[in-house]
Amino acid sequence: MAEEQYQTGMAFDAADEYRPEPPPAPEIPAWKDGSRRIGIHTSIAGSLAGALDIAHGLGANAVQIFSASPRMWGGGVRIQETDAARFRSRRAELGLGPVVIHANYLVNLASPNPVLRARSMQAFHHEIVRAMALGADYLVLHPGSRQDASAESAIVSIAQGLQQAARGLKLGELRILLENTAGQGSSVGSRFEELKSIADACTALPLGVCLDTAHLFAAGWDLRTPGGLDSALSHMEATIGLSRIAVVHVNDSKVPLGARVDRHEHVGKGKIGLEAFRRILNHPSLAGRAWILETPIDKPGDDLRNVTTLWKLVGNPSATAGRSRVSSGRKKETPRGGRGKRKAAAKKNR
Ligand SMILES: [Zn+2]
Ligand SMILES: [Zn+2]
């Protein structure tokens, strides 16, 4: 026995082992390798870097977070460089991408109230600064709520507010994405013509679009049928242009078609349904987009189940295998489509 071990040791002298040179740093980030990107919004309540581990543990290879509390005016909240550095290096280790930041819900660049609008511009400025510090790829913003202002003036306010918030900052690779809305109340952005007008008016800032399936359905686009999906996509192509869409929020809807309220449901368990999501995720016009879940966590494991569902829908059911089955277990922080707290926040924001 002892002799055998000795001989084995001789046969595999570690010093003789061929060690290839480390590959040169890639010019294109690893996540842009063309592979399917499925992510989920996770909580930063533990730590910023912890949110990455939660996503990875759930089997996601992309992630969305808030960079600060989503319902508090953290106007001046900066991230410590040590925390930002830990986040960036952990993200590289896990190969997660894209990293998407969802902006604070209180930011309302369309507000006709000058105090709230100024506060919103300052808060969004800090959103950009934090997103840059974290090395994020996208920063998603709801266009805002215009209250009693006209749609035209709201569009000008949003475009000017965005440009002012970004003034003096070199965004680099970071791209700001406007999210389509459900059309609740006086919210701007349920119509793609509005998103296009904002993007056109933002001459100093290239804007992309984040498409939310639950919002699209609540705004009246019938995604349940192949024809309905195609007509929604051709309308988007004719207005904002599909090339602007970088991220899709994959949420089923608790409310029926055209209900104009924002209520997210587990993928396949709502009014849109599983087969519709299979078509959406595999539609050639949407190839290459990052797919991010903002589904509720009603009971432990819901987050893992939704991630697993998406991998199955894209024909890669083993993608989540071997991952630790952790669950974020934190309910409050995940975007859940206009629940109580968010409604209260929206009221305060007028
Ligand atoms: Zn969304
Ligand atoms: Zn929503």
Between the CA of 84 and the centroid of ligand 1 the distance, in Å, is 24
Q: Is residue 4 part of a domain?
A: no
Residues 6+ apart with CB under 8 A from 282: 313, 314, 315
In a domain, 17, yes or no: no
Q: What is the mean pLDDT of the chain?
A: 88
Find the CATH number of the domain harbouring 283.
3.20.20.150
Amino acid making up residue 228: G
Mean pLDDT of 63-87: 89
In a domain, 46, yes or no: yes
Q: Give pLDDT, residue 135.
A: 97
The proportion of the chain whose per-residue pLDDT surpasses 70, expressed as a percent, equals: 83
Residue 14 lies in a domain: no
- The yes-or-no answer on residue 212 being catalytic is yes
Please report the pLDDT score of residue 52 as a whole number: 98
Residue 8 lies in a domain: no
Q: Give the pLDDT band of residue 25 (cuts 50, 70, 90).
A: low
Listed residue (309, 312, 226, 216) closest to 271, CA to CA: 216
6, part of any domain: no
For the stretch 169-224, pLDDT in tens is 999 999 999 999 999 999 999 999 999 999 999 998 999 999 999 999 999 999 99
Residue 79 lies in a domain: yes
Look at the block and give the residue holding tokens 């349920």: 190
* Amino acid letter, residue 315: G
Task: Show the domain range for 112.
Answer: 34-348
Cα(136) to ligand 2 centroid in Å equals 21
- Rounded to the nearest whole angstrom, what is the distance from the C-alpha of residue 167 to the centroid of ligand 2? 28
- Provide the pLDDT for residue 337: 56
The verdict on residue 309 lying in a domain is yes
Residue 140 backbone phi and psi in degrees, to 5: -100, 135
Indicate whether this model's pTM tops 0.75: yes
pLDDT score of 49 more than 90: yes
Q: Dihedrals φ, ψ of 152, to 5°?
A: -65, -45
Catalytic residue of the set 264, 266, 289, 336: 264
Tell me what pLDDT residue 321 has: 52
According to DSSP, the β-strands at 175-179 and 252-253 are unpaired
Residue among 272, 296, 276 nearest 286 (CA)? 276
Find the catalytic residue in 215, 263, 266, 336. Answer: 215
Specify whether the backbone of 87 is left (phi greater than 0), alpha (psi in -120 to 50) or beta: alpha
Q: CA–CA distance from 330 to each of 35, 39, 63, 186, 281 (Å)?
A: 29, 17, 16, 30, 27
From the candidates 91, 142, 244, 336, which is the catalytic residue? 142
DSSP category for residue 145: B
pLDDT score recorded for residue 287:
96
Q: Residue 350: its pLDDT value, please?
A: 38
CA 329 → CA 29, 38, 72, distances in Å? 30, 19, 22
Instruction: Spell out the residues 6+ positions from residue 63 whose beta carbon is closer than 8 angstroms to its own.
Output: 39, 40, 41, 42, 51, 52, 55, 96, 99, 100, 292
d(CA 40, CA 23): 30
Q: Calculate mean pLDDT across residues 47-58.
A: 97
Number of domains in the chain: 1
Cβ neighbourhood burial of 188 (10 Å; 0-12, 13-18, 19+): buried
